[in-house]
Amino acid sequence: MQTIIVTGGAGFIGSNFVYYLLSQVPQHRIVVFDKLTYAGNKVSLQKAFQGGRVLFVKGDIAHAGQVRTLYQRFRPGFVFNFAAESHVDRSIEGPEAFVRTNVEGTFQMLEAGRLYWKGLKETDRKKFRFLHVSTDEVYGSLGPTGLFTEKTPYSPNSPYSATKAGADHLVRAYHETYGMPVVLTNCSNNYGPYQFPEKLIPLMILNALEGKALPVYGDGKNVRDWLYVEDHCEAIWKVMGRGTAGEKYNVGGNSEKTNLEVVRTLCRELQKAFPAKDNPALRQKGLSDYGGLVTFVKDRPGHDRRYAIDASKIRRELGWKPRHNFASGMGATVRWYLDNKDWCRKVQAGNYGRQRLGLLKKK
């Protein structure tokens, strides 16, 4: 049975990817390697464990010994590196963990991977692939027009994006220097099931349901290109299967929205699924729709104004395009959070109280 390693598989995109893989590869074993930080939770994989093909190993990608053992013990054909510290606001408060996991961790995954790959017999060596999952944030911020292409120079502005950029450079260097068969994806903002409630969309849904303020940063006009997570999973799988070693692929939803538009859309979807007039928390505040909860708060330091992806390369070369549009994806996401209150409670318990993060402290 061939083995696929998924690092960070207990996080948002990683867990969605494990479910996606289970539907695509009935004959493979999937090994999830995850440190279980505040953002990772085995409860997200509960259904995935039921079929007996998913194995969980708790470990740290920045720990050289653990990573070496991972390769030697499971002898993977494919490795997907999702594990990362991923929240920009947290990177402003504490960048060190980001350097350790995103840069050092990617290095350990590459270095142990390279030694393992070199030792494989020729037929297996030819098939082996390492896919690194990255972000469009490495490219920096756009003005009102233009798109990020694979050739856009890197210009990261937050500790998060700077560490992801460092990792991307290492991935590329391992191909150029050692010929290691790596591929890289740079994706725009994802949304969908199992996203930890610190990120914009789940934070807003859960606050809205409880009648709490919906805090929009700055003027709410920062633009992101939104992609439903399942579409990202399909893109990653296509790049692994058919992408050219050493190449990078931008992935995006062709769905630019301001943060305010995102919040207004999710308020509309909530209104359809659970009207404010039926929600005691809203009734108590005398509100007949969720939009009344929107408040504008101090902006994030160094907040990038606009990201937008040119995904024509992956469309042209690998035939990928998103299946979901923003309205259908948001509808599905809102319904998922309404139906999975128990998951929301479990992942936040003793861990996170939806407080504001990432403001610079005054001395």
Ligand X SMILES: NC(=O)c1ccc[n+]([C@@H]2O[C@H](COP(=O)([O-])OP(=O)(O)OC[C@H]3O[C@@H](n4cnc5c(N)ncnc54)[C@H](O)[C@@H]3O)[C@@H](O)[C@H]2O)c1
- By beta carbon distance, the residue nearest ligand X is 11
Catalytic-residue membership of 137:
yes
Residue 117 vs 139, nearer CB to ligand X: 139
As to burial, measured by CB atoms within 10 angstroms (0-12 exposed, 13-18 middle, 19+ buried), residue 339 is: exposed
Q: Which of residues 54-83 bind ligand X (CB under 6 A)?
A: 60-62, 82-83
159 binds ligand X (CB under 6 A): no
Site map (CB under 6 A) of ligand X, residues 90-119, x = contact: -----------x---x--------------
Can residue 34 be called a binding residue for ligand X (CB under 6 A)? Answer: yes
When asked if residue 164 is in the footprint of ligand X (CB under 6 A), the reply is: yes
**For ligand X, which residue of 4, 5, 6, 10 counts as binding (CB under 6 A)?**
10
Which ranges of 86-220 would DSSP assign to H, the alpha helix?
A: 88-93, 96-98, 106-118, 122-127, 159-178, 200-209
Dig out the tokens for 253 from the structure: 């939803």
Which strand (E) or helix (H) includes residue 5? strand 3-7
DSSP 208-231: HHTT--EEEETTS--EEEEEEHHH
State which H helix or E strand residue 184 sits in.
strand 182-187
Window contacting ligand X (CB under 6 A); options: 116-124, 172-180, 183-191, 347-355: 183-191
Residues 115, 118, 120: CA angle, nearest 5 degrees: 115
Sole window of 48-56, 109-117, 182-190, 234-242 interacting with ligand X (rule: CB under 6 A)? 182-190
Half-sphere exposure of 131 (CA within 13 A, CB side): 27
Q: Is 11 among the residues that bind ligand X (CB under 6 A)? A: yes
133 near ligand X, judged by CB under 6 A: yes
| Backbone region of residue 299 per phi and psi (left: phi > 0; alpha: psi in -120 to 50; beta: other values) | beta
User: At 134, is the secondary structure helix, strand, or coil?
Assistant: strand
Regarding 39 and contact with ligand X (CB under 6 A), the answer is: yes
CB of 283 to ligand X, least distance (A): 33
Q: What does the binding site for ligand X look like in residue numbers (CB under 6 A)?
A: 7-8, 10-14, 34-37, 39-40, 60-62, 82-86, 101, 105, 133, 135, 164, 187, 189-190, 196
